[in-house]
Each structure stands twice: as structure tokens, then as C-alpha cells.
Amino acid sequence: MTDQAPRPEGDIPGKPTAASRTTLSHIMTGSDTNLLGTVHGGVIMKLVDDAAGAVAGRHSGGPAVTASMDEMVFLEPVRVGDLVHVRAQVNWTGRSSMEVGVRVMAERWNESTPAQQVGSAYLVFAAVDADGKPRPVPHVIPETERDKRRYQEAQIRRTHRLARRRAIKELREKRAADGIED
Ligand SMILES: CC(C)(COP(=O)(O)OP(=O)(O)OC[C@H]1O[C@@H](n2cnc3c(N)ncnc32)[C@H](O)[C@@H]1OP(=O)(O)O)[C@@H](O)C(=O)NCCC(=O)NCCS
């Protein structure tokens, strides 16, 4: 059960999650560090955005732009020499937007242990046409139980994002109507 909205006739055919899932791998170097000597969070965020953008482009069959990035979590420090794998997949699709889930794994350069999860994030991408206007995307078809869970969780995040934006917009409008300036 994925709670997918009914799609109109003549709609773009859907695509399974697995069709655009990808992994971006990168070895961290001395130029990636912060003042503590570990890898700068912004370097990881760039990789996350790159991997998510690649997935969004592959799923939507054209250009897609980052609309938002939320719940970026850093669990463990990444060090120079570590091999970082950024795994990304489309979790959910709307009309023109896609939520991409990203998991960041690190293989320690000096340990023969399995890759360790060091971060995760959820990004919303909007597919755009040549004029930068939103265009429709194929609906994602979650196939495995894990993909179905991620789809359902993404719907919850989508509902909360919209509700939060609406509530803040209404608050600002009310303050403006009351003549409050800040
Ligand atoms: C993202 C962008 C295309 C949205 O354009 P818009 O005119 O607001 O269009 P819409 O309101 O129809 O939004 C398009 C879709 O994106 C979603 N969306 C827009 N802003 C969002 C946000 N902040 N968070 C989550 N989703 C968002 C909408 O819900 C909608 O989804 P749906 O079609 O699946 O229902 C536009 O704001 C933009 O171009 N932003 C700049 C993107 C960019 O340059 N990113 C790189 C940063 S340098």
C-alpha cells in the first residue's frame, strides 16, 4: 500500500525507484577540511546535492533544481582519506517535485571495517523546463518493502512541509494586516 494519488489518463509512464537510484563516491582530501581537521559539513552537503540532483535528473528525464534540503544529519565525523559513498534515490514524487533521500556512508581509510553511515538528508527537487518552469515528472513506483516505507514516510514529510509553509505564511499575513512591521 503506497497511497499513490490516482494519475490522469495520458499521464507520463511511471518509473521504478531502482531505475534512477545511484551512488556517488569520493575520497576526502586535505582541501575538504574544517579548522578541526575533519571534513567540512558543507563539502558533504555539496556531494549530497550532487548525488540527489543526478537522481532527480535521471528520474525526471531532464533538468531539475533543488527546491529544499531538510533533515541534513551528520552522525559521525568524516576524515581526510576516507572514501565517502553518497547513495541517493527518489522516495516520492508529486506533480513536478521529487523527494530524494540520501544516505552518506564512509569507508575509513585505515580500517578494514564495513562502510559506516555518517549522515543522511532529504531533498526536494523540482523538474523544470527550458524556461525554468516546473514540468510534470513520472510518478515513482516503489517496489520493495523498504521503498514503500520510504514513500510513505516521504508523504508524511511532504504534508508537514506544506503545513509549516502555510502556517508561517498565514502568521506573516496576519501580522502585516495588524500593521506590525519587523
Ligand atoms: C523550485 C521552483 C522551480 C518552484 O517554482 P514555483 O514557481 O514555486 O512552482 P510551484 O509552486 O508549482 O512548485 C513546484 C513544485 O515544487 C514544490 N516546491 C516548491 N518549493 C518548495 C519548497 N521550498 N519545499 C518543498 N517543495 C517545494 C511544490 O510543492 C511543487 O510540487 P508539486 O508540483 O509536486 O506539487 C523555483 O522556486 C525555483 O526555481 N527555485 C530556485 C531553484 C534553484 O535555483 N536551486 C538551486 C539553488 S542555487
Q: Report the CATH number that the domain containing residue 123 is assigned in CATH.
A: 3.10.129.10
Asked, for residue 169, whether it belongs to a domain, the answer is no
Range of the domain at 111: 15-141
The pTM (predicted TM-score) of the whole model is 0.93
Asked, for residue 70, whether it belongs to a domain, the answer is yes
User: Which residues, judged by CB distance below 6 Å to any ligand atom, belong to the binding site of ligand 1?
Assistant: 65-68, 94-97, 124, 126, 128, 132, 134, 161
Rounded-to-integer distance, Cα 93 and Cα 44, Å: 24
Rounded-to-integer distance, Cα 80 and Cα 18, Å: 31
If phi > 0 it is left, if psi is from -120 to 50 it is alpha, else beta; for residue 22 that is beta
Q: Which of 145, 148, 157, 93 is nearest to 120 (CA)?
A: 157
> What pLDDT is recorded for position 2?
44
Asked, for residue 172, whether it belongs to a domain, the answer is no
Rounded-to-integer distance, Cα 140 and Cα 4, Å: 9
Asked, for residue 161, whether it belongs to a domain, the answer is no
Q: How many domains would you assign to the chain?
A: 1
Q: Cell for 168?
A: 508561517
- Which DSSP category does 38 fall into? B
Residues of the chain with pLDDT under 70: 1-10
- 141 contacts 60 by C-beta, under 8 angstroms: no
For residue 176, count other CB atoms closer than 10 A to its CB: 11
Asked, for residue 33, whether it belongs to a domain, the answer is yes
Rounded-to-integer distance, Cα 136 and Cα 119, Å: 30
> What pLDDT is recorded for position 11?
76
Tens of pLDDT, residue by residue over 29-63, are: 999 999 999 999 999 999 999 999 999 999 999 99
Q: Which of 114, 121, 43 is nearest to 79 (CA)?
A: 43
Tens of pLDDT, residue by residue over 146-164, are: 999 999 999 999 999 999 9
Asked, for residue 62, whether it belongs to a domain, the answer is yes
Rounded-to-integer distance, Cα 123 and Cα 143, Å: 21
Asked, for residue 3, whether it belongs to a domain, the answer is no
Distance between Cα 136 and ligand 1 center (Å): 12
The minimum-distance atom of ligand 1 relative to the CA of 133 is 3
- 140 contacts 14 by C-beta, under 8 angstroms: yes
> What pLDDT is recorded for position 95?
97
Asked, for residue 117, whether it belongs to a domain, the answer is yes
> What pLDDT is recorded for position 141?
98
Residue bearing the CA closest to ligand 1, atom 1: 67
If phi > 0 it is left, if psi is from -120 to 50 it is alpha, else beta; for residue 71 that is left
